[in-house]
Amino acid sequence: MAADRHVVIHYHIFKNAGSTLSAALERNFGPTFASFDAKQFNQQISNPELLAYLRQRPHILALTSHHSRPPKPAADGFVFHDVLVFRHPVDRIRSMYDFYRDSLLTDDPLTTEAKRLDARGFFELLIAEFPHLVISSQVNYTANQGGKIPDEADCERACAMVRAAAVVGVTDQFDTCMATAEHRLREFFAGLDLSYVSENVTRGKRKSLPERLRDFEKQCGPKLYQALLALNALDFKLVDAARNESAARFRQMPACEAYLRQFKERVQKRKAKSPFAFSIEHPGDFSFFTRTE
């Protein structure tokens, strides 16, 4: 009987360090990595479409997608390692606004609106006309494939999916998430090195999280800012669940603190080597493409 095909699926949640993680996967997997997205910004890729794509490309072992949604597929002959990374809900939508405002115009209407409106006007517009993008949207993404305003039952289901995911983490504990993911996935991809260089960082990101939130509150005004906090109550629960699950998995690793220190040293060496390492570099050793028993 043929061995199962192990495939990493990175669900690229917008503004959740997805470009950094995708670049690390691409550097490791090289020609066996793929980015699979729909043709239109507002389309989704179903699990049958994802499976068809992979069956037509039997060499692919790691994949990232903006347009696929959990839950991961289930199919004979495949073992999927799903990757979910979350972010402080209000910091995430703040970054979303900055990204749209700085981007070139596209067919996404939010790009036009972000360039036209200040932060207060933009988020008032989202609440009124695009509430699924601003009301606990990470719960919505995880539990509902983006299809509805989430409720408590959706949040519970999303938290259960977090606990079942192969890789889970939060952006403000990104090194811990990546080190734990590396350790876990090396069982199937020997030699995996998820040290990274940050990619696609929007303005303001280099400030601390409390600084970014204070600046954002000033932009929005206290009333709107408090409204955004309240509208994202379920997202805060989901992010806490992801944080707790990531921390628990990290603590289960042998010599976890030493492993994390060594991982951070590799990150610093990679950053010192080249700020564009992931854009131009591919490893010469693809020995981990074959699963170790």
In sequence order, the 6+-apart residues with CB closer than 8 A to the CB of 141 are 13, 69, 70
pLDDT band per the 50, 70, 90 thresholds, residue 279: very low
Q: Give the 3-state secondary structure of residue 178.
A: helix
Decide if 179 contacts 250 (C-beta within 8 A): yes
Q: How do strand 62-65 and strand 33-35 relate by DSSP bridges? A: parallel
pTM of the model: 0.89
Query: Which pLDDT score, from 0 to 100, does residue 286 have?
Result: 34
Q: Which domain holds residue 134?
A: 5-289
Q: Could you read off the pLDDT of 225-252 as tens digits, one per residue?
A: 999 999 999 999 999 999 999 999 999 9
Q: Could you read off the pLDDT of 83-96 as tens digits, one per residue?
A: 999 999 999 999 99
User: How many beta carbons lie within 10 A of that of residue 188, not counting itself?
Assistant: 19
pLDDT band per the 50, 70, 90 thresholds, residue 99: very high
Q: Into how many domains does the chain fold?
A: 1
Q: What is the CATH number of the domain that holds 16?
A: 3.40.50
